[in-house]
Amino acid sequence: MSAYRSSEQYLGALARRAALPAGFCAANASLEFSPSEKPGTYPMNLSLILLDEPTTSFGACFTRNRFAGAPVLIGRRRLAEPRLRGVLINNKVANVGAASGVQDATAVLGELGGLLGSPERELLAASTGVIGWRLPAAAISAALPTLAAGLQRRSLLPVARAIMTTDSWPKLRRARVGQGAILGVAKGAGMIEPNVATMLVFLLTDLEIPRAALREELARAAEATFNRISVDSDQSTSDMVVAFSSRRKPAAPRAEFRRGLLEVCRGLAEDIVRNGEGVGHVMRVRVRGPQRTLSLGLAKAVVNSPLVKSAVFGNDPNVGRLLSSMGDYLGTAPGGSTVDFRRLRVAMGGTVLYEAGAFRLDSAKERRLARYLAACASDPAHKGYPAHERCVEIEVDWGGRGAQVVEVYGADLSYEYVRENADYRS
Amino acid sequence: MSAYRSSEQYLGALARRAALPAGFCAANASLEFSPSEKPGTYPMNLSLILLDEPTTSFGACFTRNRFAGAPVLIGRRRLAEPRLRGVLINNKVANVGAASGVQDATAVLGELGGLLGSPERELLAASTGVIGWRLPAAAISAALPTLAAGLQRRSLLPVARAIMTTDSWPKLRRARVGQGAILGVAKGAGMIEPNVATMLVFLLTDLEIPRAALREELARAAEATFNRISVDSDQSTSDMVVAFSSRRKPAAPRAEFRRGLLEVCRGLAEDIVRNGEGVGHVMRVRVRGPQRTLSLGLAKAVVNSPLVKSAVFGNDPNVGRLLSSMGDYLGTAPGGSTVDFRRLRVAMGGTVLYEAGAFRLDSAKERRLARYLAACASDPAHKGYPAHERCVEIEVDWGGRGAQVVEVYGADLSYEYVRENADYRS
């Protein structure tokens, strides 16, 4: 659990994590464009993550949103390619809902491939930003030579900064595994919910791992981390988690690779929630019970309830709303009637709030819990770096034999969230 | 579509609607209590709606929240009683989650029955307020003689005011049907979502109607109105919609009764959304399509998306978020893949935003829509009466033969919502 005192200190910590694994390079550049949809010019950042050689070992998870963006439509097809070499990322325009979206993105990738000596089909596109605007393909293409000329092997930190939209700090996590490393970078703030949402994650490793194994490990890690976070329960049109291996270092034992990938993904997932739009508190909800689907539903019901989220924002240990949100879910969930509220145990920060069919509250306990919540808070308007990495720990146990624990991350609901989302395009 | 200029003008309109149907009387009283859970004393309002004679013709719909309050547990059992005579309503304490909840409520009803000469089993309880606090049965019982002494036959308006919690104005609707009337009163603000949520609704009619017919009409009307509103997608522990007939007036034709009941319920449902905690805009989403369940899911996805709600609050005609919220729903809904986005048509305030696979926006249209949204707004901090009854009209058509229209009401997400819900108990 780290705490940071300044942006410089946080960026220093990231710089130490950011060294590119063997066989990767990266670049970024910026440009100005004039959307046809709105007067004025806007700045856009381009980022490129590139392998020295195309690799057979890559994988990706995409949003399940049916109104998916052009990069997602292209990316899904790319999964069948024999080899990929890298990904071009832009912010500001999500390239969603424009009739020519796939064509525009493909044209840009064709131009980039020409500069790099790679066919367009070996490149992925990733976009985040306003939905409905057309990708400014000509302006992007004009900036590609500068981008390609800036490729470097040192650090992923400039990319971590360039892919930000409403993010207020860059996000990088690293794990050492065997003789190599797994490095992950993420963009994401707001509109984050299970099933992967406006979240772009790129995972780079130099460890040898076959394609099938990489995809299996990626799916497993994403399910346990990126699909377990929720800022506002909306799943975006553009989310993707992409992994590449340059295969430059000897393979690590599978269990070690798994542990390393999970560590990186869990760190990034928590970073994404903490940096969610207007987030003041991060909630970590752990539900223990004999039936995993119901446990997961209970945890998500808690983190997605606007009333729970508002109460946590106000440092109000409102256990009534916790129980009501779970009761609401169970009232309509298949099998919900198997959960017996009299056997339910609910704790916050280690303090039992409800047990054996009754609230376990008194005013001294309530004051203590309010202080606990306040100590877990950050100022939602705080920018530049995470002040600390504390979570509001909520534990739910609905008992039973052979119970497993399911973990979900969520965020409070603050004035700042509303402000950012009411004003995003203005 | 009414507009009001003052609280007096609004209350005047309500006073004209509020005459009790034949065979009903009402009373209210206030008291102070000291909860064991928190220091200090708090005011509580009691209200009583009573029939002159017990009636066989009554019905009710209850929340589906599994963590239901004691009044709901008691009410469900009462449905099997041969006759009921009335309902006792309190605010401030929801009587949810206290181990002795049913016992406390039953004791109070027993006391009240003694005063009225009715058995306890002929009386319903309805409670709204803080979850987890114990019902102050002794303090309530002490106030019952004053309450019973205040019974009057004139107006339901005092009850409409007394049952309010965070509501900022009373809610009453009336329909004349045949030789009688249907009068409805509601309490509800925030935590309102389909399947009936902290919403108490009491429907009184003097029209003769058999129990089975009343229950059928009530279920039909509630499904089309109270189950189609959402302020914040949480379903409360305490919601109920109760109907009583005093059977004093001749039966009306069934179709007329249905129309009258629907009119009253629709008016109250819209009132509840408009008076939701911190609501600035009411959204009315109409979805037309060949499959009702998917249409309903699409409409709810729109009104429950925090990003859509925030954008509407900011008068931002963000059609990207509308489409993303629907795409999110369709990505996981059974049968969601049958909806073709290229056939989707989306309009706001009669202006087409998306059609034939592409956005239909330009900056002039965006400015016009922003003005339209601003004209539909009320100040969320406005108290005392609804300034107007305008809605943001969102229309979605996913085409197909034999299409039906489904209608859902929702609310924006404002700073004021967060403020009210962060501070509710303090």
Question: What's the CATH number where B140 sits?
Answer: 3.60.70.12
Q: Pick from A99, A359, A415: which is nearest to B418 by CB? A: A415
The answer to whether A305 faces chain B, any CB pair under 8 Å, is yes
Which residue, among A62, A135, A199, A328, would best test binding to B if mutated, counting the most B CBs under 10 Å from its CB? Answer: A328
pTM of the model: 0.82
Domain closes at, from A213, A247, A274: A274
In the structure, how many helices (H) and strands (E) does chain A have?
Answer: 12, 16
In a domain, A168, yes or no: yes
Domain that holds residue A295: 282-423
Q: Name the 3-class secondary structure at A378.
A: coil
Residue with tokens 């819990």: A369
In a domain, A1, yes or no: no
Q: Pick from A234, A326, A341: which is nearest to B305 by CB? A: A234
Name the average pLDDT for chain B. Answer: 90
Q: Which residues contact A401 (CB under 8 A, 6 or more apart)?
A: A290
Which residue, among B128, B230, B328, B366, would best test binding to A if mutated, counting the most A CBs under 10 Å from its CB? Answer: B328
Say which range, A398-402, B258-262, B334-338, has the weakest mean pLDDT. Answer: A398-402
Q: pLDDT > 70: what percent of chain B?
A: 94
- List of chain B residues whose C-beta atoms are within 8 Å of the C-beta of residue A323: 67, 96-97, 131, 237
The answer to whether B359 faces chain A, any CB pair under 8 Å, is yes
Task: Provide the shortest C-alpha distance from residue A303 to chain B (in Å).
Answer: 12
Q: Does residue A270 sit in the same domain as residue A288?
A: no
Number of structural domains (chain A) is: 2
Question: What's the CATH number where B331 sits?
Answer: 3.10.20.340
In a domain, B95, yes or no: yes
Give the tens place of pLDDT for each residue, A304-340.
Answer: 888 888 889 989 888 888 988 899 889 888 888 888 8
Listed by number, the residues of chain A in 320-349 with a beta carbon closer than 8 Å to a beta carbon of chain B are 320-321, 323-328, 330-332, 336-337, 339, 341
Statement: residue B421 has pLDDT above 70:
no
Task: Provide the shortest C-alpha distance from residue A417 to chain B (in Å).
Answer: 9
Give the pLDDT of residue B195: 37
Element (H, E) at A392: strand A392-397
Which residue, among A238, A307, A354, would best test binding to B if mutated, counting the most B CBs under 10 Å from its CB? Answer: A307
The answer to whether B64 faces chain A, any CB pair under 8 Å, is yes
- List of chain A residues whose C-beta atoms are within 8 Å of the C-beta of residue B364: none
Give the pLDDT of residue B78: 97
**What amino acid is encoded at B55 in this protein?**
T
Task: Provide the shortest C-alpha distance from residue A124 to chain B (in Å).
Answer: 22
Between residues B20 and B363, the one the model is more confident about: B20
Task: Provide the shortest C-alpha distance from residue B201 to chain A (in Å).
Answer: 19
Residue with tokens 């009636």: B55
Listed by number, the residues of chain B in 367-406 with a beta carbon closer than 8 Å to a beta carbon of chain A are none
Q: Name the 3-class secondary structure at A92.
A: coil
Give the pLDDT of residue A193: 39
The answer to whether B279 faces chain A, any CB pair under 8 Å, is no
| d(C-alpha A147, C-alpha A159), whole Å | 12
Rounded to two decimals, the ipTM of the complex is: 0.74
Between residues B273 and A38, the one the model is more confident about: B273
Q: Does residue B190 sit in the same domain as residue B287?
A: no
Give the tens place of pLDDT for each residue, A128-162.
Answer: 888 888 999 999 999 999 999 999 999 999 999 99
Domain closes at, from B274, B296, B323: B274
Average pLDDT over residues B176-188: 96
Q: Does residue B348 sit in the same domain as residue B367?
A: yes
Cα-based distances in Å from A361 to A302, A318, A354, B82, B306: 19, 10, 8, 40, 31
The answer to whether A307 faces chain B, any CB pair under 8 Å, is yes
Give the pLDDT of residue B170: 95
- List of chain B residues whose C-beta atoms are within 8 Å of the C-beta of residue A195: 331-332
Other CB atoms within a 10 A radius of the CB of residue A5 amount to: 9
Average pLDDT over residues A345-351: 94
Residue A164, token pair as written in the block: 């930000």
Q: Is B205 a catalytic residue?
A: no
b/e map B206-241, b = 16+ CB within 10 Å: bbbbebebbbebbeebbeebbbbbbbbbbbbbbbbb
**Taking CB atoms and an 8 Å cut-off, how many pairs form between chains A and B?**
233
Q: Label residue A190 by pLDDT band (50, 70, 90).
A: low
- List of chain B residues whose C-beta atoms are within 8 Å of the C-beta of residue A415: 415, 418-419
Tell me whether residues B418 and A419 touch, CB distance under 8 A: no
Average pLDDT over residues B239-252: 97
Q: Does residue B193 sit in the same domain as residue B329?
A: no
Task: Provide the shortest C-alpha distance from residue B280 to chain A (in Å).
Answer: 12
Q: Does residue B232 sit in the same domain as residue B98?
A: yes
In a domain, B1, yes or no: no
Q: Does residue A167 sit in the same domain as residue A30?
A: yes
The answer to whether B358 faces chain A, any CB pair under 8 Å, is yes
* A124 close to A78: Cβ distance less than 8 angstroms: yes
* A318 close to B59: Cβ distance less than 8 angstroms: no
Q: Does residue A262 sit in the same domain as residue A410?
A: no
Tell me whether residues B232 and A306 touch, CB distance under 8 A: yes
Tell me whether residues A363 and B39 touch, CB distance under 8 A: yes
Task: Provide the shortest C-alpha distance from residue A78 to chain B (in Å).
Answer: 20
Give the pLDDT of residue A196: 37
Concatenated DSSP letters of A173-235: EEEEETTEEEEEEEEE-SS--SS--SEEEEEEEEE---HHHHHHHHHHHHHHTGGGEESSS--
Q: Does residue A303 sit in the same domain as residue A418?
A: yes
Active-site position among B128, B198, B205, B237: B198
Q: Does residue A229 sit in the same domain as residue A326?
A: no
Q: Does residue B84 sit in the same domain as residue B214?
A: yes
Q: Does residue A81 sit in the same domain as residue A63?
A: yes
Nearest chain A alpha carbon to B69: A324
Q: Give all strands of the β-sheet with A24-33 in edge-to-edge order.
A: A24-33, A42-55, A84-90, A123-127
The answer to whether A425 faces chain B, any CB pair under 8 Å, is yes
Q: Does residue B31 sit in the same domain as residue B154?
A: yes
Domain closes at, from B255, B274, B293: B274
Q: Which residues contact A409 (CB under 8 A, 6 or more apart)?
A: A228, A229, A230, A269, A270, A273, A282, A283, A284, A285, A303, A391
| d(C-alpha A253, C-alpha A249), whole Å | 12
In a domain, A142, yes or no: yes
- List of chain B residues whose C-beta atoms are within 8 Å of the C-beta of residue A237: 320, 323-324, 327
Nearest to B151 by CA among B20, B245, B55, B54: B20
| d(C-alpha B344, C-alpha B341), whole Å | 5
| d(C-alpha B235, C-alpha B193), whole Å | 5
